[in-house]
Amino acid sequence: MSSTQHVLAVHPTAPETAPEHRLARGVCIEACFDCAQACRSGADAWLDEQGAQNIRTCQRAQENCADLCLAAASILPRLGSPGTDSGKALMGALLEACITACRHCREQCEPHVGFPHCRLSQEACTRCEQACVELRDSLRLTRP
């Protein structure tokens, strides 16, 4: 059991939360942290990359994605029990923002996947986007 899964399992709302929802939330939180780390590192790597041109849009997408993923990973654990209305609207909006940021970053990294740091960001964005979609869908949160 990962530390994220353990934290969610000992939360006071854990008995009210279906195990599959708790698992999906844990996977999503971990994917968000991984994505934030990969994107922050990828954006920073552009500063030292020799011969890289026209990367500013990709770098900004990585920075934005890192910030949104970190916010999602930080906020998701404290959003009440998924079986209640407590935090549902915020959780849905947060997941949609993360999905959008990951999708945009993935698309901006596509032309630069020859750079290992950009390929890693793209892969992390793909995993994070998928985890956020799965959590959103498992909780039956509506899209805006």
pLDDT (tens digit, 9 = 90+) per residue, 97-128? 999 999 999 999 999 999 999 999 999 999 99
pLDDT at res. 77: 85
pLDDT (tens digit, 9 = 90+) per residue, 4-17? 887 788 777 777 77
Cβ atoms of 83 and 139 within 8 Å: the answer is: no
Q: Give the pTM.
A: 0.82
Classify the phi-psi angles of 21: left when phi > 0, otherwise alpha if psi is within -120 to 50, otherwise beta.
alpha
CATH of the domain spanning 18-138 = 1.20.1270
